[in-house]
Chain A
Amino acid sequence: MHALIIDDSRAMRSILRRIVTDLGYDTTEAEHGQAALDHLEAGLVPDLCLIDWNMPVMDGYQFVQRVRDDPRWRDVTLMMVTTESEHGQIVRALAAGAHEYVIKPFTPDAIVDKLELLGLLVAEVPA
């Protein structure tokens, strides 16, 4: 299983990387939506994208729209991981094609629970 972690903060990418690596994922990182799209165009087909909303160049919402508009990536699971917690924003992201939504700050358990709901838990959760 492969996760593409998209966040302009290296610290946040590091936190997410440690969580999903412990769950058995390989990871690739991108610092904004355009860099993530470049990975996809280059042939990366992740099982999961963890996507921040507010990023320079291309934000997470635009990334979700672009991925959902392209049938090559229809099987990629998209999970927003963001500080944006207004109800309207959550509805917009889900309507655009995001599968799940996690609000920062989050615990590792919050990510694990969402992955379990999505059927993407591939390894036993570390104690």
Chain B
Amino acid sequence: MMLEGPSFTDLHAVVDEVWTTFLGPEDPLLPALPDTGPGEGVTWSAATSVSGAWNGVVTVEIPDLVAQTATERMLGVAPGEALSTEDVADAVGELVNMIGGNVKSLMPGPSALSLPLVARGTIASPSDLTEVSHLDLTWAGSPLRVSVLARRDAPVHTLDQRESA
């Protein structure tokens, strides 16, 4: 049985829309730079879970520079202005909230979206989750990763079942 997740194209479209809308079109999202490992430089992680007809988790992992820049742009403050840890966590959480909400809309419903969980560092994934899709991208010269994980022990729709429905 194959766990279901959004297609690469759909996930990219969601992330691109969120990034462009709130962080501006001047720094486009680009494919990951060569020799950039998926977890390299990650200092902020955020996750939101979807529960219902589809069960999974959406995560965003970004280095501190990306988190700081995103926060500045969302709050409308000048570059380099001092930001509190709470402000950065809030902005990173809102980014994963928007990506997670739009991923939820791509999957079978109805389902509920959790409040975001944000951490400095990496959030460990529960062992019942399997990665079904991820994007490694570059924004303003820094790497970022967006992952979608599906829960293995929850009732899931298989691709075959959905296609035959």
Residues on A lying within 8 angstroms of B by beta carbon are 8-12, 14-15, 18, 54-56, 82-86, 88-89, 104-107
Contact = CB atoms under 8 A, between A and B. Distances in A.
B76 to A, nearest CB: 6
A10 B75 contact: yes
A105 B22 contact: yes
B18 A86 contact: no
Contacts of A55: 115
Contacts, number: 65
Interface residues of B, number: 27
28 contacts: A8-B115, A9-B94, A10-B75, A10-B86, A11-B71, A11-B74, A11-B75, A11-B87, A12-B74, A14-B74, A18-B76, A54-B97, A54-B113, A55-B115, A56-B115, A82-B101, A83-B98, A83-B101, A83-B102, A83-B113, A84-B101, A85-B104, A85-B105, A86-B111, A89-B110, A104-B97, A104-B101, A107-B21
B63 interface: no
Interface of B: 17-18, 21-22, 71, 74-76, 86-87, 90-91, 93-94, 97-98, 100-102, 104-105, 109-111, 113-115
A58 B76 CA distance: 27
Contacts of A82: 101
B98 A105 contact: yes
Given A14-B76, A54-B97, A88 B71 contact: no
A11 B101 CA distance: 17
A100 to B, nearest CB: 18
Contacts of B100: 83
Contact of B110 (A54, A86, A105, A106): A86
